[in-house]
Amino acid sequence: MLANGRQLRRTSTLGARWACYTSATDCKTLHSTSDGANTERDRRCGPLQGIKVLDLGQVVAGNFCGAALAYFGADVIKVEPPGTGDALRSLRTTDKSGNSLWWRSYGRNRRCITVDMRQEEGRHIIKQLANNVDVLVENFRPGVMEKWGLGPKDLKPDMIFARISGYGQTGPKSQLAGYASVCEAYGGFRHLNGFADRPPVRPNMSLGDTLAGLHAAFGIVMALLHRQRHDNKVPGQVVDAAISESMFNMLEGCIPEYVYSGHDRPPSGSTISGVVPSATMQSKDGKYVIIGGNGDSVYSRLMAAVGRPDMASSNPLYATNTHRCQRADEIYKVIGDWVASHTHDEVLAAMAEARVPSGPILSTADIYKEEQFRQRNMFHVAAPPEGGEEVTLPAMLPVMTGTPGSTRWAGPDLGHHTDEVLKEQLNLDSDELLRLRQQKVI
């Protein structure tokens, strides 16, 4: 423990890598001091310090959005149903307390309360809390918040109201249930991912949910910036982030290509269509490597490294990417045969020597051992605010040199901050909290 209250925790026994954590008390203290402390406050508390968020998000998309805002300094109050809590708490591997490690990661830095929004009194509490924040995040099915009297028109007019759903708040599919698995397919990703002669492939992660949460957080920050530029005198706005459209936003040139030429980009396995060479290849020892040599000069260095300088871009047959796409099978066979005759380490060493982008395919176990990730402080060790087991969490990105994010605590136990928040925000006393708890409102 340092004299200024910051805690230093070592991230592993494999080197002296340290992560710095700042408590919420530190940030409040700095916020109350003179303007001379502004730079230090921002550095220690993140660029979003002072922003208050009411987080009604659930499972992956909403929780990722709330986690990102909290990581970069916002005061995020996370609301969950009493008794059961957020479904993310029970998904995949759990710690000794029964909370999932996924929750410990996504729940970090947030203050967790329980309120039963199905009860009228619970909804009244939510409405009161909403009057004290800058941002509200939710990912219920479109229309549910309006039915509860908690829609954008029911709350204060300067509210930034972030909504995450499968298909967006409008349109003929807006009322459909929207899990990432379905919306990734609807947004075009599953069609492009995989091999043409096999069923579409799903990566073993909730990519669509995470992208939707990221889009929502980005929209929130843009809305906050707009409000700030107008001296906080403009109405709030709705940030409408759809899982399907978050995938759609990743389609690169697919739409203009189709509309202009009728070309409907197909799946391309371990390569990428229209860019040659860029592929996954297997080395002599059975490991896979990624090689990307599609720039003209990079391509020439690659072909020299694999013993075929005659196929460099100085040869008119391979002069540009367009020419190389026409001879893709030939090029991939030459490179693939060379990779297959060398070990994984030999391939990577030769590519590094030739300054050709290449790399291994890392598992989570591999990533955790990588010095690159360790020197960049990508692993944070933290405990829940109530104490208990420390867990190792991945950093959230991007890295910022002046106002970095930080992990101040791991995801709290269910309802850990209920009394604290309701006393602080709504001035409820202990007797009222007891009554609400007996009636299962909180």
CB-based burial label for 185 (10 Å; 0-12, 13-18, 19+): middle
**CA-to-CA separations, 154 to 148, 157, 159, in angstroms, rounded:** 10, 8, 10
Task: Quickly count: other Cβ atoms within 10 Å of residue 250's Cβ.
Answer: 14
How many Cα atoms occupy the beta-carbon half-sphere of 297 within 13 Å? 1
Question: Would you give the DSSP letter of residue 265?
Answer: P
- 290: Cβ–Cβ under 8 A, 6 or more apart, which residues? 279, 280, 358, 359, 360, 361
Question: CA 169, CA 175: separation in Å to the nearest integer?
Answer: 8
* Cβ contact 123:117 at 8 Å: yes
Start-to-end CA distance of the chain, whole Å, equals 35
- Would you name the residues annotated as active-site residues? 209
Torsion sign, CA atoms 62, 65, 71, 77: negative
Question: CA 392, CA 89: separation in Å to the nearest integer?
Answer: 16
147 in helix, strand or coil? helix
